[in-house]
Structure 1
Amino acid sequence: MAARIFLWSVFGLISLAVAAAILWAAAGGWILRQYMAPSVSFEESPKAPPTFYDRPDAWIARPGLPSEEARWLPDGVFPKPDAPAAIFYVHPTTYLGSDRWNAPIDVGSEDARFRRRVFTQSQASAFTVAGDVWAPKYRQAAFGAFLNFSSPDAEKAFALASSDVSKAFEEFMNSTDPGQPIILVGHSQGAFHLASLLAERGEDEELRSRLVAAYLIGWPISETADLPAMNITPCREPRQVRCLLAYQSFGEPADPSLIFDAFDQTNGFTGEPRRNTQLLCTNPVTGGSTQAAAASENIGTLVPEESLLNAHLEPGLVGGTCTDRGYLVLTQDPPDMGSYVLPGNNYHVYDIPLFWANLRADAQERTTAFAQ
């Protein structure tokens, strides 16, 4: 049942990508902003109640809370008992409605909960080899906020979502053992909020002492305008600890202008402009910074079977290399995971599944190195 849910969710995400591609080809960002940007101001947006992370219903997953999606694993992969770390995972955007700037805590619709489930299954599952998953629900910024990323309303929406993530993280830190190692994992909007968290807690010695690594995937992070304020070094070696991994996946020919056009209009966590700055790019195949990797080094891509009744890992399908301004370019034609990507050959939806087994091995190696 879990595998079927996962695969039908992938199918739904692919359909979303197709719709976005059609809209973009027709009239670019104008149509997206017209039809998916929130139709009200932030002040007029429906107000979601505050979040209380001492309550189990504020979490998708945490120890002691039954959570099928957090325990999901592909065929042939088994749980690792007594893994020592605690994983704090923040899911990406799943709310596509235009009626508000921030989603309700339970994201409002069955479709949005469905997308949240598949992301938790296909992303957080890669890191369960290192420990138990803590995954908060949060009042995420709606998809339309990204279409007006630098507007005052969007800034307020992201600030509200980040405040939820910060409160959840406080509960996470207080509820885990003071000496327990921790891993941060976020994708897309989730990565943005964790990057903001690191910038806010730049001098938090307990966080630094317990951090195995932060995997902030699918969100651009400037090496000069963001990293200094986050007080964390990039992961340059496979067993390095207390470091940051980040990348964004593109096929050839890559056109990341949709990302950079918005990103370059903003200032980083240091207050300096992000325009034309180099992005952090960690190769997920090697665990190094910019080293190229062949497909033969990829030990497992998470691929849905043609029947859509199961998922399996398939090695050797695609490699990657960090290039140009700092995004990851796939070195082979990617595997058939539905054949649909976002505009610009952006494999954003598949950032983690493309390199699922390598990320899993990476998290285990860094956790072992941390203990030693």
Structure 2
Amino acid sequence: MARKFLYLMIVLILLVGAGAFVYRFYGKDLMKAALIPSAHFEGGPVTPSQAYEKPAMWFARPDIPNNPALWTPADFKPGENPPAAVFFIHPTSYIDRAHWNAPLDDAQANNTAAVFLRGQASAFNETGEIWAPRYRQATFGAFLTSRADAQKALDFAYRDVLAAFDEFLKELGPDRPIILAGHSQGALHLERLLRERVAGRPLAKRIVAAYVVGWPISKLHDLPALGLPECVTAGQAGCILSWQSFAEPADPSMITDVYDATTGFDGKPRKGTDMVCTNPITGTPNAAAKLTANLGTLIPSKDLGSATLGVPGVPAKCFGRGFLSIGQPVNLGGYVLPGNNYHVFDYSMFWVNIRKDVARRFATFASGKPATASAPAPTAPRR
């Protein structure tokens, strides 16, 4: 699954005017030739345990200047001394085929990552101090092939994420509440982090919520391994949220075709199983909300350096096997993927509601009330 799903991120080649035309006629073969590295994976230096002690290894942390995660639109501002800490893993921003993993000093990849932090991680900056590591992410082409090199690149990227997370925990101390969040490749690494560092460990009691956005989670075969339940109420803490956004007419077959051919974390086929779908407007699963309930959608500037809030924002409802519909297509400056997939805007379309969702779940966590609610039984494969 990991090698295939970011195939949907073809937005990165649609940035040129002729991209859609070229993709229509040449499609996958052209993308593979243009984006998959031809050389074998060679790796690189192992991340030293002390590397992430250096502020330069982070895009965002409380003690660095020019922190892109502190951006806010007009009439909003970051919280003063926010009570929680946020570990945020940014999505793929490196598309060069020269390397299987991004060099840490690649200017274009770093600038794109900063754009993602402004539009995504900033939603958390009222409730939590944001820590977002630089990491040697797998290149976009790693998701277009089943070659062993691709999985090696993903494993290599995850080692950086893990080293950063261990330093994050050391910096925080033993008691501070934690919010986990990621998108796309970042959400893939977050799933693994939940399995390896949270599930079945005392750390799980410190997790306010985990936002695993833009990556599918099988309710039946993945969720039990992540160590936290699905969020089933708007004020629940200690749980997982996830969604994948489409406009109508929605065609998520590019996701389901791959998803149905993969196995879950329990080793059983995901085929036919439903995915976690949290409505980010309501904070509840399988819900519907009118556009008037969306308190603000970010509308990016042409240079992607800033954004304004569109109010009301888009509507949202869960549909099918666990996808999120925003109704009719909206103009957010392009970058919409085939099938009316609004993957790039999974966070920004619901920026204000996510901000309030985080605060609400933290209030429950801080109150000492029961952190979880009874979850519905997992959905079995559909026949």
**Residue correspondence of structure 1 range 209-248 to structure 2 within 5 A:** 209-248=205-244
Instruction: Report the AA paired with residue 325 of structure 2.
Output: V
| Alpha carbons 1:319, 1:332 under 8 Å: kept | no
Quote the residue 1:178 is aligned against: 174
In structure 2, what is the Cα distance between the partners aligned to 1:194 and 1:209? 17
Quote the residue 2:292 is aligned against: 296
Quote the residue 2:4 is aligned against: none
Alignment pair present for 1:41 and 2:40: yes
Alignment pair present for 1:63 and 2:67: no
Instruction: Report the AA paired with residue 55 of structure 2.
Output: P
In structure 2, what is the Cα distance between the partners aligned to 1:16 and 1:264? 30
Change (3 A) 1:196 1:127: same
Q: Which moved more, 1:293-302 or 1:171-180?
A: 171-180
Quote the residue 2:340 is aligned against: 345
Q: Which moved more, 1:23-32 or 1:46-55?
A: 46-55
In structure 2, the residue corresponding to 1:180 is in which secondary structure? coil
Quote the residue 2:370 is aligned against: none
Alignment pair present for 1:119 and 2:149: no
Change (3 A) 1:17 1:131: farther
Alignment pair present for 1:75 and 2:74: yes
Instruction: Report the AA paired with residue 76 of structure 2.
Output: V
Instruction: Report the AA paired with residue 319 of structure 1.
Output: P
Instruction: Report the AA paired with residue 29 of structure 1.
Output: K
In structure 2, the residue corresponding to 1:185 is in which secondary structure? strand
Change (3 A) 1:37 1:262: farther
Shift of 1:348: 0.8
| Alpha carbons 1:217, 1:246 under 8 Å: kept | yes
Shift of 1:306: 7.1
**Residue correspondence of structure 1 range 78-97 to structure 2 within 5 A:** 78-97=77-96
**Residue correspondence of structure 1 range 90-239 to structure 2 within 5 A:** 90-106=89-105, 108=106, 110-148=107-145, 150-239=146-235
Alignment pair present for 1:265 and 2:261: yes
Identity among equivalent pairs (%): 46
Change (3 A) 1:165 1:308: closer
Shift of 1:349: 0.9
Question: Which of structure 1's runs of 4+ aligned residues deviate more than 4 A?
Answer: 12-15, 17-20, 305-310
In structure 2, what is the Cα distance between the partners aligned to 1:275 and 1:308? 38
Quote the residue 1:363 is aligned against: 358
In structure 1, what is the Cα distance between the partners aligned to 2:139 and 2:181? 20
In structure 2, the residue corresponding to 1:86 is in which secondary structure? strand
Q: Which moved more, 1:271-280 or 1:309-318?
A: 309-318
| Alpha carbons 1:53, 1:59 under 8 Å: kept | yes
In structure 2, the residue corresponding to 1:192 is in which secondary structure? helix
Shift of 1:30: 1.9
Quote the residue 1:7 is aligned against: none
Instruction: Report the AA paired with residue 58 of structure 1.
Output: M
In structure 1, what is the Cα distance between the partners aligned to 2:192 and 2:260? 17
In structure 2, the residue corresponding to 1:302 is in which secondary structure? strand
| Alpha carbons 1:180, 1:210 under 8 Å: kept | yes
In structure 2, what is the Cα distance between the partners aligned to 1:302 and 1:29? 31
In structure 2, what is the Cα distance between the partners aligned to 1:18 and 1:342? 14
Shift of 1:96: 0.3
Shift of 1:19: 6.1
Shift of 1:219: 0.8
Change (3 A) 1:339 1:181: same
Shift of 1:23: 3.8
In structure 2, the residue corresponding to 1:268 is in which secondary structure? coil
Shift of 1:86: 0.1
TM-score, normalised with respect to structure 1: 0.90
In structure 2, the residue corresponding to 1:201 is in which secondary structure? helix
Quote the residue 2:282 is aligned against: 286
Change (3 A) 1:59 1:305: closer
In structure 2, the residue corresponding to 1:233 is in which secondary structure? coil
Alignment pair present for 1:326 and 2:325: no
Instruction: Report the AA paired with residue 66 of structure 1.
Output: P
In structure 1, the residue corresponding to 2:52 is in which secondary structure? coil
| Alpha carbons 1:41, 1:153 under 8 Å: kept | yes
| Alpha carbons 1:75, 1:311 under 8 Å: kept | no
Instruction: Report the AA paired with residue 161 of structure 1.
Output: A
Quote the residue 2:26 is aligned against: 27
In structure 1, the residue corresponding to 2:179 is in which secondary structure? strand
The superposition leaves residues 24-82 of structure 1 with CA deviations (integer Å, 9 ceiling, x where unpaired) of 31222222112111211224xx6356352122221111121223312111111122212
In structure 2, what is the Cα distance between the partners aligned to 1:100 and 1:226? 31
| Alpha carbons 1:18, 1:342 under 8 Å: kept | no
Change (3 A) 1:272 1:308: closer
TM-score, normalised with respect to structure 2: 0.87
Shift of 1:98: 0.8
Quote the residue 1:6 is aligned against: none
The superposition leaves residues 218-260 of structure 1 with CA deviations (integer Å, 9 ceiling, x where unpaired) of 1111111211111210011111000000001011111122223
In structure 2, what is the Cα distance between the partners aligned to 1:308 and 1:230? 34
Gap regions ≥5 residues in structure 2? 1-10, 368-383
| Alpha carbons 1:14, 1:341 under 8 Å: kept | no
| Alpha carbons 1:20, 1:343 under 8 Å: kept | no
Shift of 1:13: 6.5
In structure 1, the residue corresponding to 2:68 is in which secondary structure? helix
| Alpha carbons 2:47, 2:159 under 8 Å: kept | no
